[in-house]
Chains A and B, each alone.
Chain A
């Protein structure tokens, strides 16, 4: 026989174009996208509007609220960010990004027109369809409003499918409030918006304290029947969502009707690098969105 082994090429050119989870080429496939606008929200956070350049790819890009993507700036780095915009906008997404390290600081210095790479969408989502016909509590602390914004946009897009929609949002001080330009729009869409800051400045007229204060007020105002038909999405630091979820559980909202989003270090977003593991659960595959019951049962989660 011919003793030379044949080289096996695992991906033929024909397969390069598909993006199913089971395709080999999906792993490092990057949509090329352009930063079409940068909106300075606070001193630390910018809202980047990012559009997939190829119109067909842009249309084909479907995501659900709560999912994230990997944003890459060649040579600088790649990191996970929750998609902050309405799923109805497909591959024309908004990301609300805080300056935190290498990539995020670099991003704060680039201009419109910069080309970036996008992998995704990745991870689990808030089960919005399951929530149809119900009340929703959307509770955010700090940057937690970033992933929540996509769920808010979904309720706006489908307002008739939900009963009451409440947003309860807490920030450290008024200068750190995100998406201030949208508050009136939310209210116009019949969303009850309550904002609280921990450290008020002289011009602050709203309530001061933690989100729990608003929740207590809500508890005093609404009767038990409200909570029977209510879902909650709670995004913020672990101490915050733990406290809030336990409070809501006192009103008998089942833990499986409360959703949180976990943040962990991620280097692949596809269940390979293991950096995101909580106990032995991959946050990038089984999360970042978990119901609270699952989180309670994860070792190392809180």
Chain B
């Protein structure tokens, strides 16, 4: 890995070089909540001053750029009994992501495992993923963050460069040749021993700031043993089955497919839309049988998929501990509390 340091003023220059020829997505403030706290989102940014490098967590992940809520898998032209199918992966340019936190980068790394694996890789995702240039940015743990428990507080790969604020300077890890070349546009220097010390100090300060923890020891086994546990029923009573948790989750990818005929009857579309396993008809089949009719069985399934099934398949969980779902849930259901209760710990 190559490390460099550069003056804080240089970052704007780097941004300007990038934005001069590319679409750049970055964290911006889009409003205030009722406590007058900023609401952040990943949007297209044209000027460096609108990028909020100090952002906490965006309400929605950057998912819409690589797993849009709705996209056409195919379009058809219809002609009597015949038709032609046209497949488009719905991307025509690269995007630069300026300032993703480690959790959101790790979310992409997890998605890659399912969506880019060797068994039926998904071209719609692959096409967008291949065209993402990612600049990571360090962050400050919030009260709801438990990424450290999930092993997602640092990103080891899945970015082009990762920037850490070490006081007077930015410390940057460079993973790709493209990133290395971009950095030639600004003044950077080889880090000296003092910079390393400063970097390590920043990291250890950050680690002290985590207040929420999840115990994942033996969690797959515990989930199996507690499959019939009453705690699921209690969470089910609380859950509104609204599906918000999946919508805001950077690692949720489940979907449904629908076909529609154009009004002029000459064309048709096959559309994919992200879905949530908490919605009532997720596992309902034709004829009306529903494999998970109760809210608690669906909520349990979501945890089961993330914290057991995915672990079994890839030796890591499908949750990065970003805390978005808990923050967005109107019923106040949070991952740390659910897992603690399943483990039999008083919540």
Contact = CB atoms under 8 A, between A and B. Distances in A.
Interface string B56-92: 0000000000000000011010100111010101001
A55 interface: no
A113 B297 CA distance: 44
Given A11-B123, A74-B270, A272-B122, A265 B284 contact: yes
Given A10-B130, A75-B268, A27 B120 contact: yes
B190 to A, nearest CB: 20
A9 B131 CA distance: 9
Interface in B275-310: 275, 277, 282-287, 291-292, 297, 301, 304-305, 308-310
Contacts of B21: 2-5
A25 B182 CA distance: 32
Contacts of A72: 259, 270
B206 to A, nearest CB: 31
Contact of A277 (B120, B305, B312): B305
Interface in A76-133: 76-79, 100-101, 104, 113-115, 117
Contacts of A75: 76, 78, 259-262, 268-269
Given A21-B118, A77-B259, A101-B286, A264 B291 contact: yes
Contacts, number: 166
A267 B256 contact: yes
B254 A273 contact: yes
Nearest to A3: B21
Contacts of A263: 285
Given A74-B259, A273-B257, A280-B310, A7 B131 contact: yes
A281 B261 contact: no
Contacts of B291: 264-265, 278, 300
Contact of B259 (A25, A78, A104, A273): A78
Q: Which 8 A-B pairs have the closest CB atoms?
A: A280-B309, A75-B268, A100-B286, A75-B261, A4-B21, A270-B120, A101-B286, A274-B254
Interface of A: 1-11, 21-28, 30, 32, 72-79, 100-101, 104, 113-115, 117, 263-265, 267-268, 270-275, 277-281, 285, 299-300
